[in-house]
Amino acid sequence: MYAFDYVKPASVADAVKALSAEDAQPISGGQTLIPTLKQRLGQPSALVDLTKIADLVGIEAGSDSVLVKGATTHAAVAAHEGVMQAIPGLAKLAAHIGDPQVRNRGTIGGSVANNDPAACYPAAVLGLGATVLTDRREIAADDYFQGMFTTALEEGEIVTGVRFPIPEKSAYAKFVQPASRFALTGVYAAKLKGGVRVAVTGASESGVFRWAEAEAALASNWSPEAVETLAAPAADGMIGDIHGAPDYRAHLVKVMTKRAVAAA
């Protein structure tokens, strides 16, 4: 790692101020950022630690939504009674990110800010139609994710939380890439008051996306059989690497959608 200053602000306002310095960058769990910096893929002047800001840690489960604050760890989401009751699919997703040590450090804000094309949380955020809260605005999931490692966040903008609407039912089905623990393909399917949403991670070159055909089929018939009648999405534009070819991932999208609906 190149040398950097370490800043530990006590409030979101102080963090925003610290981030206005040239090349300053937030750090939360560091589970993505520290390995990246070790490879010298970045050279921040300062790392601004968000995890010591009391306002950024915690979960508020309300009657129609659940707010997970930005620096809340995956382990905290997985173990939270309110989340388990209101959105069990979300608690289970968090419980299967990486391994216990990654879950003890990694945070929801870091995950959605990073928007790794194989990460789990982006599927839940898009699949539940959640709202990403920042220090300056609220961003609907449909506007937030803009392709792999790309989001609507501006320079120095902090994810302060994610607000998830409570669905009638929902679940995440992840086909694990066993070496990295990330999703080779993962699908979050949700039946909400406003309709059905199906979000896919791990598969597309354009990052997390909604599978419109499955949403339409499931809206009239919420069952794995409704998905069975569909053709898999086009292999064109799917990720191809040593772990799986594009048509294999396209096939997995269909299989994991069925599994998510069955599990919901």
Partner 1 sequence: MASVSMTVNGKAVSGEVEGRTLLVEFLREGLELTGTHVGCDTSQCGACVVHVNGESVKACSVLAVAVDGADIRTIEGMAAPDGTLSVLQQAFQDHHGLQCGFCTPGMVMSAADLLQKNADPSEQEVREWLEGNICRCTGYHNIVKAILAAAATLRGEKIAAE
Ligand X SMILES: Cc1cc2nc3c(=O)[nH]c(=O)nc-3n(C[C@H](O)[C@H](O)[C@H](O)COP(=O)(O)OP(=O)(O)OC[C@H]3O[C@@H](n4cnc5c(N)ncnc54)[C@H](O)[C@@H]3O)c2cc1C
Binding mask 170-189 for partner 1 (x = CB under 8 A): -----------x--------
| Cβ burial 147-174 (10 Å sphere, 16+ → b, else e) | ebeebebeebbbbbbbbbbbbeebbbbb
Cα–Cα distances (Å) from 80 to 84, 106, 170, 192, 263, in that order, read: 6, 16, 17, 21, 20
Residue from 17, 30, 58, 230 binding ligand X (CB under 6 A)? 30
CA–CA separation, 70 and 57 (whole Å)? 7
**Contact positions with ligand X (CB under 6 A) in 94-113:** 97-98, 102, 105-107, 109-111, 113
Q: Total number of residues binding partner 1 (CB under 8 A)?
A: 27
**Contact positions with ligand X (CB under 6 A) in 46-105:** 50, 70, 97-98, 102, 105
Any idea what the Cα angle at residue 200 is, between residues 100 and 202, rounded to 5°?
60
Residue 117 within binding range of ligand X, rule CB under 6 A: no
Residue 30 within binding range of partner 1, rule CB under 8 A: yes
Pairing of strands 183-192, 138-140: unpaired
Residue 7 within binding range of ligand X, rule CB under 6 A: no
Residue 98 within binding range of partner 1, rule CB under 8 A: yes
**Contact positions with ligand X (CB under 6 A) in 126-185:** 158-159, 181-182
Shortest Å distance, C-beta 96 to ligand X:
7
DSSP 234: P
Helix ranges restricted to H, the chain:
12-19, 33-38, 74-79, 81-86, 88-95, 100-105, 108-114, 121-127, 141-144, 212-220, 224-228, 246-263
User: What is the binding site for partner 1 (CB under 8 A)?
Assistant: 1-6, 8, 27, 30-31, 34-35, 37-38, 46-47, 49, 51, 75, 98-102, 104-105, 181
User: What is the binding site for ligand X (CB under 6 A)?
Assistant: 25-33, 50, 70, 97-98, 102, 105-107, 109-111, 113-114, 116, 119-121, 158-159, 181-182
